[in-house]
Amino acid sequence: MEKFFALPQIKQDTIINAALSSFGTNGYKKTSVSDIAAAAGISKAMVFHYFGTKKALYFYLVNLCGSIIMNEVNEKFDSTVTDFFDRIKQSSEIEISAMKKYPSISLFLKSIYFEKDEEVKDDLRALFEKGEDFRNKIAFQGMDYSKFKEDIDLKLFVKMLLWLTDGYMNQLSDKAEIDYEIMFKEFDKCLNMLKNNFYKEEYVNPSYKSRS
Amino acid sequence: MEKFFALPQIKQDTIINAALSSFGTNGYKKTSVSDIAAAAGISKAMVFHYFGTKKALYFYLVNLCGSIIMNEVNEKFDSTVTDFFDRIKQSSEIEISAMKKYPSISLFLKSIYFEKDEEVKDDLRALFEKGEDFRNKIAFQGMDYSKFKEDIDLKLFVKMLLWLTDGYMNQLSDKAEIDYEIMFKEFDKCLNMLKNNFYKEEYVNPSYKSRS
DNA sequence: CTCAAATCAACCGATTCGGTTTATAAAAAT
DNA sequence: ATTTTTATAAACCGAATCGGTTGATTTGAG
């Protein structure tokens, strides 16, 4: 794989994006090396020249995405933030900045989570276990729920936010060309709207009440 | 296709579900007739025996789903309902009852909307145009937005609900075995929670304020 | 028992698969 | 200037799979 790393970064990224998107949409088995080569604008032979086998490419991507997310979390995640919505914003920011580099990273990560092909399933499971407690760090624990209005069903609210973020991230994945800043601002406004209507009045941003 | 219709309904449904799920997850080109046959527990030859060609099967499914949704809408849609949340509940009910019959129908409909294969793309586009004004009937028009609190950004709220329902429907599609009633009740509770916090106080269900 | 319909395993030629070899042309090294 | 190396893609490999067919077997009704 030294051959691949010797490429200029921009070409590496082109190939990585092509592969992430192909594997992400069609899974391991149904993605052919020709698909990836075509999407990257190179010949199939080059893919083998760079990565040796389809499987090697696949797991290179898996590990790459793993470390990208890990770095992003280490850099942006702040466990001292206990506000529910701020924590969600953090997670969203983490995902957005990962997608700025590799737009299909979410699609790909979701796909490996559901991957069922025998040739890669077991190795994937092994990697998942390794990252399990890592994920728990950014989950909804140690969080301050006391700011919510008394009558809110918190379990239901969390479930709703899971649906919401999933739908939001889905829309990010679908679009070919996205202005991430605009999308993120919209999501941010959405979280603020929820906060302003589900938090006790003493916790909502005072400037909100005088909004248009 | 008389051969297919001569089958007992339960076997027809098994095959339809297998095909909807296969096409829905892998698209037209990447879905092989063997995939569908295996998922349906029959031999590949039978699929050809019943449908003649892969393409014929595909468009049988497209039209079937179209008429299922159309029937469901004609039966359940009530344009006199102007309450925003009640209208959403209606749409959700329509989709749920379609999924009760064919669990992968949402997945499939979504997939044909993004289908890009040359062999089927054009015929699909032609069908989409036909159903365009039909879809507008259940869209968010002629609806009563006056019950919302004055300070709510309605455009943003609608966008949020789009994300929410997308995420919700996604979860429905993922699961293998689902209790639709439970899922729907949860979504319904979620909508009520939103209503109670985004509608002016005089419009929220009085019983809500004394909830646990 | 008969006969036709239902069903599937085996098969067809064509295509595509993962992967290799070869041809070519530019770049680097001599 | 000439050799050598490197980057690249086209052409190719055997194996697998594709959409689709066929022949043989099973099944079920008369």
Phi, psi values for residue B148, rounded to 5°: -70, 150
Maximum separation of any 2 CA atoms in chain A, in Å: 64
Beta carbons within 10 angstroms of residue A27's beta carbon: 19
In this structure, are residues A43 and A108 in contact, taking their beta carbons and an 8 Å threshold?
Answer: no
pLDDT at A197 over 90: yes
Q: How far is the CA of B177 from the C1' of D30 (A)?
A: 43
Question: Looking at residues A144-168, what average pLDDT do you find?
Answer: 93
Would you state the pLDDT for residue A202?
Answer: 86
Is residue B48's beta carbon less than 7 angstroms from any atom in nucleic acid strand D? yes
Which two structure tokens, joined as six digits, stand for A74? 């280490």
Mean pLDDT for the stretch of residues B48-62: 97
Give ∠ CA A72-A76-A80 in degrees, rounded to 5: 140
State the count of interchain CB pairs (< 8 A) between A and B: 85
Mark out the alpha helices in chain B (DSSP H runs): 2-5, 9-30, 33-40, 44-51, 54-76, 84-101, 105-114, 118-130, 132-138, 154-174, 180-198
Whether the predicted pLDDT of A97 surpasses 70: yes
Q: What is the 3-state secondary structure (H, E, C) of B56-76?
A: HHHHHHHHHHHHHHHHHHHHH
Asked if residue B35 keeps its beta carbon closer than 7 A to nucleic acid strand D, the reply is yes
Closest CA to B71 of B105, B104, B25, B40: B105
The whole-number pLDDT of residue B132 equals 78
The pair of structure tokens assigned to A20 is 């992430």
Say if residue A210's pLDDT is above 70. Answer: no
CA of residue B47 to C1' of nucleotide D19, angstroms: 11
Whether the predicted pLDDT of B146 surpasses 80:
yes
Left, alpha or beta for A152 (phi > 0: left; psi -120 to 50: alpha)? beta
Three-state SS at B83: strand
Q: Which of B7, B6, B123, B118 is nearest to B61 (CA)?
A: B123
Neighboring chain B residues of A211 at a CB cutoff of 8 Å = 151
- Token digits for A66? 């793993």
Q: Sign (positive/negative) of CA torsion B65, B68, B74, B78?
A: negative
How far does CA A66 lie from the centroid of its chain?
10
B138 vs B59: which has the higher pLDDT: B59
Give the mean pLDDT of chain B. 90
3-state percent helix, strand, coil for chain A, nearest multiple of 5: 75, 0, 20
With tokens 């729907």, the residue in question is B184
Contacts of A154 in chain B (CB under 8 A): none
User: A10 or B177: which carries more pLDDT confidence?
Assistant: A10
Stretch B60-81: mean pLDDT: 94
**pLDDT of B140 above 80:** no
CB neighbour burial string for A170-195, b if at least 16 within 10 angstroms, e if fewer: bbbbeeeebeeeebbebbeebbbbbb
Chain A: closest CA distance from residue B6 (Å): 33
pLDDT per position as a tens digit, A108-128: 999 999 999 999 999 999 999
Predicted TM-score (pTM) of the model is 0.92
Q: Residue B200's closest chain A neighbor by CA?
A: A197
Q: Is pLDDT above 80 for B206?
A: no
pLDDT for residue A211 is more than 60: no
Looking at residues B170-180, what average pLDDT do you find?
A: 76
Q: Do A164 and B163 touch (CB under 8 A)?
A: yes
**Number of residues that this document lists for chain B:** 212
Radius of gyration of chain A (CA): 20
Segment (H or E) for A175: none
Cβ contact, residue pair B198, A197, below 8 Å? yes
| pLDDT over threshold 60, residue B211 | no
Give contacts of B30 with chain A, Cβ < 8 Å: 26, 30
Cβ of B10 less than 7 A from strand C? no
Q: What is the pLDDT of residues B91-137, one digit of tens each?
A: 999 999 999 999 999 999 999 999 999 999 999 999 998 877 777 76
Q: How far is the CA of B29 from the C1' of D2 (A)?
A: 51
Q: Which nucleotides of C are covered by protein (CB under 7 A)?
A: 6-11, 16-22
Distances (CA, A) of A85 to A93, A191, A192: 12, 7, 8
Whether A212 has a pLDDT exceeding 60, the answer reads no
For the record, the structure tokens of B112 come out as 């044909």
Numbered residues of chain B with Cβ closer than 8 Å to any chain A Cβ: 26-27, 30, 114, 149, 151-153, 156-157, 159-160, 162-168, 170-171, 174, 186, 189-190, 193-194, 197-198, 208-209, 211-212
- Kindly determine whether residue B193 and residue A157, on different chains, have CB atoms separated by under 8 Å: yes
A83 bridge partner residues: A144
Q: What residues contact residue B86 under an 8 Å CB cut-off, 6+ apart? A: none
List bases, strand D, within 7 Å of protein CB.
7-11, 17-23
Specify the residue for token string 């991507």: A61
Whether the beta carbon of A6 falls within 7 A of nucleic chain D: the reply is yes
CB B103 within 8 A of CB B17: yes
Tell me the average pLDDT of chain A. 90
Residue A133: the pLDDT is: 73
Query: Nearest by CB to A189, which of B156, B166, B197?
Result: B156
| Amino acid B209: pLDDT | 52
Q: For residue range A51-83, list pLDDT tens digits in order.
A: 999 999 999 999 999 999 999 999 999 989 999
Q: What is the pLDDT of residue B203?
A: 85
